[in-house]
Amino acid sequence: MTDESSSHQDVAALQAEIESLRAQLNSRDDAHEQVLWQLSRDLLAVADEQGSLANVNPAWTRNLGWSLDEIIGQNLGEFVHEEDREETLDALQNLDRDGSTAEFKSRMRTASGSYRLLDGRVDRMRGRIFIVARDITELREREIALNDSRDFARLALSAVSGVGAWTYEVASDCFFCDAAVSELYGIDAKEAARGIRREGFLANVHPDDRAALQSTMSGGLVRSGDLELEYRIRHPDGSTRWVLSRGNTHFNDAGVPVRRTGVGIDMTSQRDLEQQLRQSQKMEAVGHLTGGIAHDFNNMLQGVIGPLELIRHLVTKGNTAGLDRFIEMAISSAKRAAGLTHRLLAFSRRQPLAPKSVDIRELVVSLEDLIQQMAKETIALSVVADAEPCFVLCDTNQLESALLNLAINACDAMPDGGSLSIETSRKTISEKEARMHKDARPGQYVCIAVKDTGSGMPQYVVNQAFEPFFTTKPLGQGTGLGLSMVYGFVGQSGGFVTIDSSVGVGTVVRLFLPEEMEQADAAPDASVHRKEIGTGAGETILIVDDDETVRQVLQDLFERLGYRTMTAHDGPSGLAVLQSKTPVDLLITDVGLPGLNGRQMADAARMHHPALPVLFITGYAQAATANNSLDTGMQMLTKPFSTEALLDRVRAMLGA
């Protein structure tokens, strides 16, 4: 063998050895790539140019929960949050040549329906798309938490928008805030970023909320810990914004406050939604109320119209025998209608009251026999009155009616018997307790508790118990106005009502009325001054009412009895008569009059005739009486009233 041939053999052998080594290396690289593909924590994938996933590594299953079979063959966009889908697919479509790359951040849907945030990159090589992405969900949450160690991040994350940060520097008395807070407060963003004096920062705070905000700010500079307050901003755009402000004070080593930092959150949308909900509930209650009124009034009006039409028919035929029975039917139905309006006025706290000093202990004891007669023999009644007299200022008749209503309800709740007790006691109501009840004020109260061992009520029934026309009794056995009347009367008298009830245990209803520290003088009895006269003696009565039928009926009644009458249809025309030279012995006036109400007209007339007797006839007396107070020589009669009651009152006032 020549040296040349030997050399060729050596080269061939070397080349073969090199190819063998290269094959071994390639095999090892493939093995290494397979190991990396299987174990990588990053989500790796290969897709076609349309985004269909041809292959994915197991990290997709570990992070998203889908099996490989559920992923491979699907388009990447199927897993992307709909708000991120367009941006992610655009990144794929923009890879127009090999070597192109693009980055994306997308929320990917998991098998459980939640989303994970992925930060990734896509590359195009040999007409295929290679995807590498990392799950950064926990990292992002940690970043947010680190950005706000005082838990403000939790509030920020719970709000969709309208969250900003502010800082108050004590030394300069200046606020610094971001654009979100500047927009929320309606102040210049550039000026606020440089620092704005406290007066300028708070310039748009609602005047009614400014004192509370200043107090909270002052308190935050003397004690540590989070402080928060919700208040209104009158924005320059004309809107009213609700702001929830939370902050914490930072002190130096000497314990001196140096700054407060916090967040402002726009709560306007939430408050608007709450208002809409309240309005919806209010309209539902109004619908329930009007439906109940319409139902009851239609029945009562039928009881009036039917007998009256029958009377007219019989009179036309000349058959007047037995008319009294139909007249009584009409009167009875009209009185029931009057009772219904009376209960409605009681619920709305608009009923005319005749308050006087009442010894609760004496009143409750006096009702014991009456309640015992109403109760079944299987019900044991006990009255436990306070040892000392306890006085309240209220309408005695209304209070008696309220207690009887409660006693009847208690008896109805014990069809198989039980025990009923009425207890009186004194109780001091603190400011904290007063805030729990509408219109209640701290102070000394007299409590009347009506307790039974009946069936009790679930909480949802207790929550509706005071609503008008709400009743748990069978149809026809209750109007649903008893408790609402009690609620309205007690509230109008300055008190409040509570109910505690447990199913199968019983119910306790407590009436709280403000205690009178000193017994008020009893009102003089008008009957003492009564001068009995069967008919009028020519006295002049001025009748002022905007209802023509009422004026005509009263005018005809008094003229038939020998009185002289004059009428007016509104306040100004009635006052013109009173200020003329025509003598008037008695003014009978409605309260709700056009122009001037009845009380205003009477007060103006009394400037010239101080001793003029005035009888208010009304069904809505709040505007006529100042805190239920009538001057000397003034009395009130509630519509509708009987002829006997009216004549009795007129005779007493003229006789005086």
**Mean pLDDT in residue range 76-96:** 83
Question: What is the mean predicted confidence (pLDDT) over 601-611?
Answer: 89
**pLDDT score recorded for residue 588:** 94
Q: Is 15 exposed, middle or buried (0-12, 13-18, 19+ CB in 10 A)?
A: exposed
pLDDT at 95 over 60: yes
Report which secondary-structure segment, H or E, holds 421. Answer: strand 418-429
Q: Residue 625's pLDDT is what?
A: 46
Instruction: Please say if the pLDDT value at position 4 is more than 50.
Output: no
Of 546, 452, 541, nearest to 504 by C-alpha is 452
Q: What is the mean pLDDT of residues 139-143?
A: 64
pLDDT at 158 over 70: no
Query: Residue 233's pLDDT band (boundaries 50, 70, 90)?
Result: very high
pLDDT score, position 17: 54
Q: For residue 31, what pLDDT is reported?
A: 61
Q: What percent of the chain has pLDDT over 90?
A: 11
Grade residue 574 by pLDDT with cuts at 50, 70 and 90: very high
Residue 434 pLDDT > 50: yes
Predicted local distance difference test score (pLDDT) of residue 151: 41
Q: What is the mean pLDDT of residues 249-271?
A: 83
Query: What is d(CA 92, CA 95) in angstroms, rounded to the nearest whole number?
Result: 6
Q: CA neighbours within 13 Å on the CB side: how many for 296?
A: 25
Contacts of residue 639, Cβ cutoff 8 Å, sequence gap at least 6: 617, 618, 619
| Ramachandran angles phi, psi of 463, nearest 5° | -65, -25
DSSP state of 56: E
How confident is the prediction for the chain on average, in pLDDT? 77
Confidence of residue 592 (pLDDT cuts 50, 70, 90): confident
The whole-number average pLDDT for the span 41-63 is 88
Residues 589 and 617: beta-carbon distance below 8 Å: yes
Q: In this predicted model, what pLDDT tens digit does every residue of 521-563 receive, in sequence order?
A: 444 443 333 334 456 678 899 999 988 888 888 888 898 888 9
